[in-house]
A and B are shown apart, each in its own frame.
Chain A
Amino acid sequence: MLKIRLIPCLDVKEGRVVKGVNFVDLVDAGDPVEQARFYDAAGADELTFLDITASSDNRATILDVVSRTAAECFMPLTVGGGVRAVEDIRRLLLAGADKVSINTAAIHRPEFVQEAAEKFGSQCIVVAVDAKQVSPGRWEIFTHGGRNPTGLEAVAWAQRMAAYGAGELLLTSMDRDGTKSGFDLALTRAVSDAVPVPVIASGGVGTLDHLVDGVRQGHAAAVLAASIFHFGTFTIGQAKAHMAAAGIPMRPVVEAV
């Protein structure tokens, strides 16, 4: 039986983890590779790096991080942030990423998603959908951390991205992101039920019940969280056990490779 995926996300800036697990047994907690190894051993189902490096001069730092991670972690790795051209995707895949997440570039030129899926296959193209509620039952796509409206209606946009070849959608509620008040379940459900591809719910996880709700009520195929793991509130094992106890099919935590 296919399992629901639990995905920790790490923010990486100029090759260093900005927000990450802070445990004494990590030699260098700022090293994304150390963090990746930690999550790999902890039983995460996938790992996502979000590259928030501002300057394009320092973009190459993520390639080294990806390459070192791929040498040690044999689990699916998604990299997002700054993916604007086919060449960016090729470089990330060659460095060892399995999927790339496209965000702003898809809004500027939706055909980019089509070209990327044709070139590399839908299985490695994730489209990040950042949505914000504008009126009851209506969400629109925003860029720049939720500051800039685009006027695009979220469900229709998600359907378009799936039709253009996105293999999965990373759906983030900009209203809930960072609030620890739970996923926007109505948004998650509206999008999940409207597209044929898997949807990763993101934004707002503060408790383990929120993860359960994202699957049960939001119909998500995967749940992504950052803070609850980084700050040590919960471990991957605790989260999986809680979800499994709620009746959600989860891959048990296996012994480290």
Chain B
Amino acid sequence: MAETIAVIDYGSGNLTSAAKALERAARDAGREVSVIITGDADTVATADRLVLPGQGAFGDCRRGLLAVPGLLEALTEAVRVHAKPFFGICVGMQLMVARGIEHGNHAGLGWIPGTCQRLTPTDPALKIPHMGWNTLRLTAPAHPVLAGLGGEEHVYFVHSYHLTDIAASDVLAETDYAGPVVAIIGRDTMVGTQFHAEKSQAAGLRLLRNFLTWRP
């Protein structure tokens, strides 16, 4: 039976881009999947895999999640109790940590210990947002979701905030923007990318395809 992939709609993010990329990745993998853009708690609860996109501010995204009745509970139960595979993209990844410091302090989902805070490159000539194609340095190349990724893959970043205080064991890849920046995190059945996997051409599709076939 075709798996259901829920792309969670809480009023943020380029949902269509993410859904189309997942559909393409599934075709590449020879999998029949049903990709649904949804904000409905019941649909999220019954989905086989969950994707949380996100754009904008940490606090706004968090509020957006809370504003949909039952959504946060359904998501948390699916991922943390039923251990369904989860993929967070950009702010969707940032929300996985305990705390966000952006226009004040905000509680995150708290699934992975860490903090989300503003990028402050040591070189003032570096622009914020960190926007464009940057290279990945895999720190856990054996992780199944990274299968087939080479040494210096380029992926597309757009962000002004980044994750800090992440345990080394939860970091799967880093990039460099006047210092190391966490690019991919993973723990248990969860992964998250700071960059836009859905906009990263071949490397991004490969990651999504690996996620769709992942049996953690």
The answer to whether B17 has its CB under 8 Å from any CB of chain A is yes
Complex-state Cα separation, A254 to B57, whole angstroms: 32
Given known contacts A3-B132, A5-B132, A45-B133, is B205 in contact with A74 (CB within 8 Å)? Answer: yes
Assess whether A45 is in contact with B131, with CB atoms less than 8 Å apart: no
The answer to whether A230 has its CB under 8 Å from any CB of chain B is no
The answer to whether A94 has its CB under 8 Å from any CB of chain B is yes
The answer to whether B210 has its CB under 8 Å from any CB of chain A is no
- Chain B residues within an 8 Å CB radius of A3: 132-134, 154
- Chain B residues within an 8 Å CB radius of A197: 127-129
- Chain B residues within an 8 Å CB radius of A123: 55-56, 129, 131, 158-160
Assess whether A96 is in contact with B57, with CB atoms less than 8 Å apart: no
The answer to whether A257 has its CB under 8 Å from any CB of chain B is yes
The answer to whether B143 has its CB under 8 Å from any CB of chain A is no
Assess whether B55 is in contact with A94, with CB atoms less than 8 Å apart: no
The answer to whether A198 has its CB under 8 Å from any CB of chain B is yes
Assess whether A167 is in contact with B130, with CB atoms less than 8 Å apart: no
Assess whether A122 is in contact with B129, with CB atoms less than 8 Å apart: yes
Q: Which of A108-158 contact B (CB under 8 A)?
A: 118, 120-124
Complex-state Cα separation, A76 to B131, whole angstroms: 11
The answer to whether A61 has its CB under 8 Å from any CB of chain B is no
Q: B159: nearest residue on chain A (CB-CB)?
A: A123
Complex-state Cα separation, A93 to B14, whole angstroms: 6
- Chain A residues within an 8 Å CB radius of B130: 2
- What is the interface residue range for chain B against chain A? 35 or more
The answer to whether B15 has its CB under 8 Å from any CB of chain A is yes
Complex-state Cα separation, A3 to B176, whole angstroms: 11
The answer to whether A95 has its CB under 8 Å from any CB of chain B is yes
The answer to whether B16 has its CB under 8 Å from any CB of chain A is yes
Assess whether A70 is in contact with B129, with CB atoms less than 8 Å apart: no
The answer to whether B201 has its CB under 8 Å from any CB of chain A is yes
Assess whether B199 is in contact with A1, with CB atoms less than 8 Å apart: no
Assess whether B127 is in contact with A196, with CB atoms less than 8 Å apart: yes
Q: How far is the CB of B180 from chain A (nearest CB, A)?
A: 12
Assess whether B199 is in contact with A76, with CB atoms less than 8 Å apart: yes
Q: A252: nearest residue on chain B (CB-CB)?
A: B154
Given known contacts A2-B134, A120-B55, is B17 in contact with A70 (CB within 8 Å)? Answer: yes
The answer to whether A67 has its CB under 8 Å from any CB of chain B is yes
Q: 23 pairs across A/B with beta carbons < 8 Å?
A: A1-B135, A2-B132, A2-B133, A2-B157, A2-B177, A45-B132, A45-B133, A70-B16, A70-B17, A74-B20, A74-B201, A95-B16, A96-B16, A96-B20, A97-B14, A98-B14, A121-B56, A123-B55, A124-B14, A167-B131, A198-B132, A221-B127, A221-B131
Residues of A within 8 A of B (CB): 1-5, 40, 45, 67, 70-71, 74-76, 93-98, 118, 120-124, 167-168, 196-198, 221-222, 251-252, 254-255, 257
